[in-house]
A and B are shown apart, each in its own frame.
Chain A
């Protein structure tokens, strides 16, 4: 499907970056669909930032291409109007105020000072805007970075670890902020090294380890099949009764079972018929943290940065 100019698709095709003998990104291909929030996940050092910087024309790929709406970033006539980005290790001059930082960017984007003030309001730091950025907290810097990304009212947002350094209140605010932007139909690619951080925010996930893709798909796929935890007076008898009712289960500790169904009512009914007392019955989501580790730390994907020095 060719991407329409107003709903640009991000396409990364066989992207590779080698720094000397070190392959930071290895033959990586993926697409990010318009109008969705995609989480770009992987442990620290997996190559997320390098990938995003190649996508934004800051790093020259060794091979492969990365395009937004069918063209490389550097070929977009007014890039800030199409793609807003906030990268890690993107600083502010400590002696320049937040407002002036945005006004400098507004000059190249061709937007007005009024838009600058609107963005400062949007990210909630209008009061700090006239102070020098050197005194900003990490959270305020993240918000200023988001305001900068939003200046040109872009359809695509590329955010590198925007939750880093935010307190729980800030993370909640960020979640709402991204949801709001997504509801306006924008395409958002947000990187994180913590799945839990973005779990409630993203529609799709893209997981990389050691520069290679290990999983791509909708977030709901990651959750897998629903299971339930049942704690009872006689787990063996309950397991047999469940088996008879067509529900598989496995022991989960001394007096508990994991039943492969999310239907709690059915388990309760089976237990009642089998005369087994229930002490606890609850639905279990997939353990995402565990899954993330399995995906990114399996032997073939073991973090290359943590291994023994060779």
Chain B
């Protein structure tokens, strides 16, 4: 099993994909984080303390800043695309035959792949923390606002971010396993995660439904990262489940997709 995991990790780091996506991630996470930090103490996002999370710097505001692009549903697209491509490239370039010839017990092989996806997810999470933390604190320090780097809430966000990245990458992996066609899988995954998320959010808000939006993947991940109310209690009830409920539901999505995809692939003819 160790050899198979080493092989899968080596696969990830021997093409340009991982650092290409990582560069995009640094720009987006760092950029959104810097943007949010620049809004602190201003009325750009509104004068109402119940709806402007940046009006007064709180623990929750810090979490929002350091979660960076998760709030606008941009950052998760990177681990999602990574997970999709890591599995679908095996089909696209017909390397899946060689992969299964080296490790014919397919479920074992797919488990090794999952471990490799977890590892690269953690790497992405660390880089995201550095980018969002770096740019966010830089802007806050320039403005003379507190950075909340001494707060446990901030460090909880940094730590949970690793888990969030792993979950998004696994979701992509499972999705790619089911769709298999790389182009279709990437466009569908990004389309669902980004556009369908926005469309459903609008529909849910028109219908005044408050529970279904909590099940949207992006809301689950924001709910994991931003556990304190950024408005300091002025905003009313949290739009998210609690941290571990979010994580459990998201893990459920990833496990169902990956499990179903693995089961189908383990029975498939590779020709």
Contacts and interface: CB of A to CB of B under 8 A. Distances in A.
Interface of A: 49-50, 53, 56-60, 73-74, 76, 79-80, 85, 87, 89-97, 100, 103-105, 107-110, 148
Nearest 5 CB-CB pairings of A with B:
A91-B94, A107-B7, A74-B104, A100-B14, A108-B102
A151 to B, nearest CB: 9
B15 A85 contact: no
Interface in B1-40: 3-4, 6-7, 10-11, 14-17
B89 interface: yes
B16 A90 contact: no
A87 B94 CA distance: 11
Nearest to B13: A100
B228 interface: no
A95 B104 contact: no
Contact of A108 (B7, B93, B269): B7
A91 B95 contact: yes
Contact of A148 (B4, B6, B89, B98): B98
A89 B271 CA distance: 8
Contacts of B104: 56-57, 73-74, 76, 79
Interface string B61-102: 000000000000000000000000000010001110110111
B7 A49 contact: no
A91 B7 contact: no
B97 A109 contact: no
Contact of B10 (A79, A80, A91, A104): A104
A107 B3 contact: yes
Nearest to B9: A107
Contacts of A76: 104
Contacts of A60: 267, 269
Interface in B113-150: none
Contact of A80 (B14, B94, B102, B270): B102
B7 A58 contact: no
Contact of A87 (B4, B6, B89, B97): B97
B103 interface: yes
18 contacts: A53-B97, A57-B100, A58-B100, A58-B269, A79-B102, A80-B101, A90-B98, A91-B95, A93-B89, A95-B15, A95-B17, A100-B14, A103-B14, A104-B7, A104-B10, A107-B6, A107-B7, A108-B103
B271 A108 contact: no
Given A104-B7, A107-B6, A49 B100 contact: no
Contacts, number: 83
A60 to B, nearest CB: 6
A109 B95 contact: no
In this complex, the member of B95, B102, B104, B105 whose beta carbon has the largest number of chain A beta carbons within 10 angstroms is: B102
A104 B267 CA distance: 24
Contacts of A90: 94-95, 97-98
Contact of B101 (A50, A58, A89): A58
Contacts of A94: 93
Contacts of B16: 95
In this complex, the member of B14, B89, B98, B105 whose beta carbon has the largest number of chain A beta carbons within 10 angstroms is: B98
In this complex, the member of A93, A100, A109 whose beta carbon has the largest number of chain B beta carbons within 10 angstroms is: A93
A259 B94 CA distance: 53
A309 B269 CA distance: 26
Given A53-B270, A104-B10, A107-B6, A91 B93 contact: yes
Nearest to A109: B102
B97 A58 contact: yes
Contact of A104 (B14, B101, B271): B14
Interface in B216-267: 267
Contacts of B95: 90-93
A155 to B, nearest CB: 16
Contacts of B7: 104-105, 107-108
A74 B105 contact: yes
A104 B271 CA distance: 21
Contact of A53 (B15, B94, B271): B271
Contacts of A74: 104-105
Contacts of A108: 3-4, 7, 102-103
B100 to A, nearest CB: 6
Given A93-B93, A108-B3, A108-B7, A50 B14 contact: no
In this complex, the member of B6, B104, B267 whose beta carbon has the largest number of chain A beta carbons within 10 angstroms is: B104
A89 B97 contact: yes
Nearest to A145: B98
A305 B105 CA distance: 34
A105 B6 CA distance: 10
A91 to B, nearest CB: 4
